[in-house]
Amino acid sequence: MSRDQKFFDMYTLVIGVIGAVALAFVVLAMKMSDLTQGIYTRDASEYQAAVAERIKPVGEVYLPGEEHASSGPTVDTPDAPEPVATVMTGPQVYNAACSACHGAGIGGAPVLGDPAQWVERLAQGEDMLKQHALQGFSGSTGFMPPKGGRVDLSDAEVTDAVEFMLSKLQ
């Protein structure tokens, strides 16, 4: 019987502790309720406004004939500064556009710094080289797209690149 009594005592103690903790939570909840109830009640205008804001419809529907001021979306775009065109120098244009083909001889392009590959082209004259660089060229010796495939370059930038390449041949 002592084992049963020991179990019963332990069981009663555990139930008592759980009950005391539950009672403490109830008292704490009631105290918190009293402290916060005065701040936000259902009858307060703040509460009513907050609820109205949360449940207001996303849009409104008007029947034909109903006149309402349109509150359509407005787009305010700040005045963007005009883009400033940056002019590249001959070496910059060569590095950005020309070196891909003229650096390795791709597509029959004469390699920069190898005068032997430029002899036939130089015989046509510098003006013809500039014209081929600007307008493109397709012949038995190779293919040159207009402005080296970079149509965003100005004519002056392309001719500066041609002059830079010719200066490297001397």
Q: How many CA atoms lie within 13 A of 4 on its CB side?
A: 1
Instruction: Look at residue 34 in the predicted model and tell me its pLDDT.
Output: 80
Closest C-alpha among 141, 140, 138, 133 to residue 98: 133
Q: Can you give the pTM of this predicted structure?
A: 0.49
Q: What CATH code is assigned to 90-167?
A: 1.10.760.10
**pLDDT single digits (tens) 144-164:** 888 888 888 888 888 888 888
Residues contacting residue 166 through CB under 8 Å, at least 6 positions apart = 122, 126, 129
Please check the confidence at residue 38 and state whether its pLDDT lies above 70.
Answer: no
